[in-house]
């Protein structure tokens, strides 16, 4: 029974001195048992600040890697090793090295949705919450390569007026969200605002009223004066939106915008992870040190 699994998780959480972190796109039941739920930037800060001995990361592989980069003395567990990120897989260290060779002297801004080995070749990381701030902080007299998400890069380019060299990566889940869907929902719900994630395509961002990170969407929903909000991002966020805003209605732009990798994490896998200390994430120290520098520059901003 679910209640028995949750009790066992709680018991082991205490025994292991473990902190359970969950991304906003996780299943509702995973969010409910987590010690902290947040977006990539918020979870990175929690991983850096915690005094827990074990971090159980309910997210995808690059997130658990980032936690290990920030907390090398802690055991970081990913309940399902197959919970990857297609976008992060769209650029390799070799590809980034080749791109840097094409643009001597260029600075590299790396979306946190990337491997530790790619982060190690970057000047600074960013998340969707702080991409604009990070791009604005780059030296104005040197070109900037932005990897791997071309759409977040395009969004930062539009907002800062800074021309960026964009890598052609993207999020398959956010690609399922279209302008046609937004137009149809606006016609059904006159006067209702639309908020989307900046990983969406530029035409989708333009059709929306706001483009915000998942943390930004949650904050916006709390202050939003209307009773209904149309939301264009991975559907896992709807659980937290409904939980934190009773009385408000949240409509997904596309209810099929589901990340299968995020949904690989289950209560059973969290329990197994704590029982067997399964699956520890390791980052080679030379790569970790280089990646840490780019992550710390982001956190300093």
What are the φ/ψ torsions at residue 59 (nearest 5 degrees)?
-165, -145
The CATH architecture that domain 2-83+262-282 belongs to is 3-Layer(aba) Sandwich (3.40)
Q: Which two tokens stand for residue 244?
A: 């934190």
Whole-model pTM: value is 0.95
Q: How many CB atoms lie within 10 A of CB 14?
A: 9
End-to-end CA distance of the chain: give it in Å, rounded.
45
Nearest to 34 by CA among 242, 267, 221: 267
Close Cβ partners of 23 (under 8 Å, ≥ 6 residues apart): 37, 38, 39, 40, 43, 58, 59, 60, 63, 214, 236, 262
Domain spanning 88-170: which superfamily?
Answer: NadA-like (3.40.50.10800)
pLDDT of the chain, 301 residues: tens digit per residue: 899 999 999 999 999 999 999 999 999 999 999 999 999 879 988 988 999 999 999 999 999 999 999 999 999 999 999 999 999 999 999 999 999 999 999 999 999 999 999 999 999 999 999 999 999 999 999 999 999 999 999 999 999 999 999 999 999 999 999 999 999 999 999 999 999 999 999 999 999 999 999 999 999 999 999 999 999 999 999 999 999 999 999 999 999 999 999 999 999 999 999 999 999 999 999 999 999 999 999 988 8
Sequence spans of domains, the chain? 2-83+262-282, 88-170, 174-252
Q: Are 232 and 195 in contact (CB under 8 A)?
A: yes
Tell me whether the CATH fold assigned to 88-170 matches the one assigned to 174-252: yes
> Domain 174-252 adopts which CATH fold?
Rossmann fold (3.40.50)
pLDDT of residue 45: 86
pLDDT of residue 36: 97
């Amino acid at each position: 029974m679910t209640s028995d699994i949750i009790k066992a998780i709680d018991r082991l959480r205490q025994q292991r001195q473990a902190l359970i972190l969950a991304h906003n796109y996780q299943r509702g039941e995973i969010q409910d048992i987590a010690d902290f739920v947040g977006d990539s930037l918020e979870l990175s800060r929690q991983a850096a600040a915690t005094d827990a001995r074990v971090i159980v990361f309910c997210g995808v592989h690059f997130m658990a890697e980032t936690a290990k980069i920030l907390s090398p003395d802690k055991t970081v567990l990913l309940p399902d090793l197959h919970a990857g990120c297609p976008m992060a897989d769209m650029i390799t260290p070799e590809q980034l090295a080749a791109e840097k060779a094409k643009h001597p002297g260029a600075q590299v801004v790396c979306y946190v949705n990337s491997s530790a080995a790619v982060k190690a070749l970057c000047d600074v990381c960013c998340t969707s919450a702080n991409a604009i701030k990070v791009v604005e902080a780059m030296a104005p007299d040197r070109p900037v390569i932005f990897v791997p998400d071309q759409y977040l890069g395009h969004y930062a380019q539009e907002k800062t007026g800074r021309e960026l060299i964009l890598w052609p990566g993207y999020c398959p889940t956010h690609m399922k969200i279209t302008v046609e869907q937004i137009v149809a929902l606006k016609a059904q719900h006159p006067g209702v605002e639309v908020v989307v994630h900046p990983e969406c395509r530029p035409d989708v961002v333009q059709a929306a009223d706001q483009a915000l990170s998942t943390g930004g969407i949650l904050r916006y929903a709390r202050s939003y004066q209307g009773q209904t909000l149309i939301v264009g991002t991975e559907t896992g966020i709807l659980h937290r939106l409904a939980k934190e805003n009773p009385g408000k209605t949240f409509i997904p732009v596309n209810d099929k915008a589901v990340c299968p990798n995020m949904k690989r994490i289950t209560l059973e896998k969290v329990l197994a992870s704590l029982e067997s200390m399964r699956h520890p994430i390791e980052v080679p120290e030379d790569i970790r040190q280089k990646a840490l520098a780019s992550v710390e520059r982001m956190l300093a901003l």
